[in-house]
Amino acid sequence: MFSNQPITRSNSVISQGDVALNTDEIRNILNLDGSGIKIGIISDSFNLLKDGVTAADDIRSGDLPGVSNPDGYTTPVQVINEGSKGKDEGRAMLQIVHDIAPGSELMFYGVSNNVEMAQAIDALAAAGADIIVDDMGFTNQPFFQDGIAAQAVNRVVDQGVVYFSAAGNDGQRSYESEFSNSANTFTVNGITYEAHDFNSGAGVDVFNQFSLDAGKKLGPLTLQWDEPFASVNNGSGATSDLDIFIVKKDSLNLSADDIVASSADNNVGADPLETISFTNNTDSSKFHVLIGKRVDSTEPNQIKYISFSNDADNFEYGHNSSTVFGHPNAEGAIAIGATSYNDTPAFGTSIPKAKSTSSVGGTPILIAADGTYLESSLIRQKPNLLATDGVNTTFFGVDNSSDSDAFPNFSGTSAAAPHAAGVAALMLQAGGGAESLTPAEVRSILEETALDADFPGLDFKSGSGLIQADAAVELIAPQSAGVAEDDTAITRVSRDANNDVMGTVEDDILTGSAGSDVLLGAQGNDQLLGEAGDDALYGGQGNDILLGRQGNDVLSGNLGDDVLIGGKGNDRFDLGLEAGVDVIKDFTPGEDIISLSDGLAFTDLTLSFQDGATLIAAQNQTLATVDGLHSLSEQNFVSI
């Protein structure tokens, strides 16, 4: 069963996503911390940095588990393979997972290429990972086919591992089209090409113009086309041979000086891809992409390139296509997009929105893993969900001047994905352990309970929406009628109506809906969760925890020593005589109010400050303590 004893933490830094996804409430109210769940992280490196904050520092501060962790989470991160290079982004991901699910056992595998990526997935599953999360992407992963890493994802998911992957940070910086032979030819290094026509209209334009300021970098930009990869399952490879050029002028009469960058591998029998990079060290800011098919090769049907240049470029044609590709686009992967924690309801934004840089789904799978062509294209829903980024770590990222601290902020889907993995650990623990839910059930529950974002309904930018950890756990936690002494009764109601919800004589968890609800705890040590709407929460007898969350709520502990947490909105906390000693956790002067019953007025009160809280007493009885406030005034009270 769940205990209502809050979990205390010593972390020097806690991700703002902990509040935005409501995981702080799960830990403090349901005493879930991911215990019994093993999570594997795949990224660049764990502890290669020699300057600044180290992994040992993170353990001592409570930001990672280990022998010297002050909170008792003493099982260290199991580093199966340290990365050969990197900036310890993996350690930042591990910090986020530890913030969300501190009781989980953590493993790490560092990778630097696509082959190592597939090996890492299998190795973590073999080491006992229940959940795997990665933030890696490689430009040589197939766009139109499931490569070796995507197949590894599907393999471990079939074994029961829940797999999360960062969707990517490439926005819509992609061009996709059928190959259109312009019949215009050009020659480079003795090879004759037929140029692709970028203009989908009546005219012909073989140049895709873009701007790039001095010192800025284009790329890597990866071009692929719809033929089997030779590097996937010993495939047949390409029969088409495309090359890509960056040129300074819009003329096919090219000299060596006109070409500032090129990628011209022999692709026949090899992988159908070319990757190009270019740093502008010229006196020009206007350039052109030119794609040519060698005249002695076949024509492909579909071509696509993605520019991984973080908005340093601006293309004339069609830069608005999908950018989720590779193993995040695998059927078994739960691809996670990013939203800033500031763009969530917990921080004042009612409708979350995906970041413009968060990768967009819709990349078609045209070729089976064995290299055969599918009868029709397969388009998977990616990303599946959003989670938070822009969050604090001890060392990774750059401080955002708009927040109130000096800690560096970790941005992108690399930060979002580990939040989702931590939530999944809490879900599995709530369900009874690692094997309590299948990967498909975890995905379904997260999608069902997500908060819609951006455009209404499912879409390729935000998926099902922002993860709501509390709602997900609510659908999982064991239910009973409350007939056994140690049972936990959970009453669930419609999430779009106004309801009266009554507890039992046992220890209940009562959850409201999106409407304005009345929750009555009755007997037992109950937990009342108001959710959205203007709710009224009455604890009844017993030592209860009341959490209003969103809306303007009324919280009345009634009898017993209760914990009252208003959450967002203008809340009212009811106090009276002979009702126990309540703890008000988040009173905000000017927004919230304390109401006095039993004929009490402000002049009857004695207020004192002790141990970081204001004590409220009357008639020789302590009514409540208000955490974090040094003083209260008459304006903070009303008699009812």
Per-residue pLDDT tens over the stretch 153-164: 999 999 999 999
71 Cβ contact partners less than 8 Å away, ≥ 6 residues apart: 8, 9, 10, 11, 62, 102
pLDDT for the residue 53: 95
pLDDT of residue 513: 67
In the DSSP assignment, the letter for residue 474 is H
Instruction: Decide: 627 and 584 in contact? Cβ < 8 Å.
Output: yes
Residue 23's pLDDT is what? 95
Cβ proximity of 156 and 190 under 8 Å: no
CB of 360 within 8 A of CB of 172?
yes
426: closest CA among 442, 440, 444, 405?
442
Task: Supply the pLDDT for residue 10.
Answer: 58
Amino acid symbol at 128: G
**What confidence score (pLDDT) does residue 4 get?**
37
Phi-psi region of 88 (alpha: psi -120 to 50; beta: other; left: phi over 0): left
Fold for 17-171+325-472, please state it: Rossmann fold (3.40.50)
The stretches in the chain having pLDDT less than 70 are 1-11, 310-313, 477-501, 503, 513-514, 612
Q: What integer pLDDT is reported at residue 329 of this predicted model? A: 98
Residue 381 amino acid letter: Q
Between helices 413-431 and 439-449, what is the axis angle to 10°? 110
In this predicted structure, what is the pLDDT of residue 337?
98
pLDDT at 402: 83
- For residue 488, the model assigns a pLDDT of 36
Residue spans per domain, the chain: 17-171+325-472, 174-315, 479-639
Residue 9 has what pLDDT?
55
pLDDT in the model for residue 45? 98
Full-model pTM: 0.78
Our CA dihedral for 414, 416, 420, 421, rounded to 10 degrees, sits at 30
Q: What is the pLDDT of residue 501?
A: 66
**What's the rounded Cα separation, in Å, for the pair 120 and 130?**
14
pLDDT 10s digits, 241-262: 999 999 999 999 999 999 999 9
> What does the pLDDT look like over 177-206, one tens digit per residue?
999 999 999 999 999 999 999 999 889 999
CATH 3.40.50.300 fits 174-315, yes or no: no
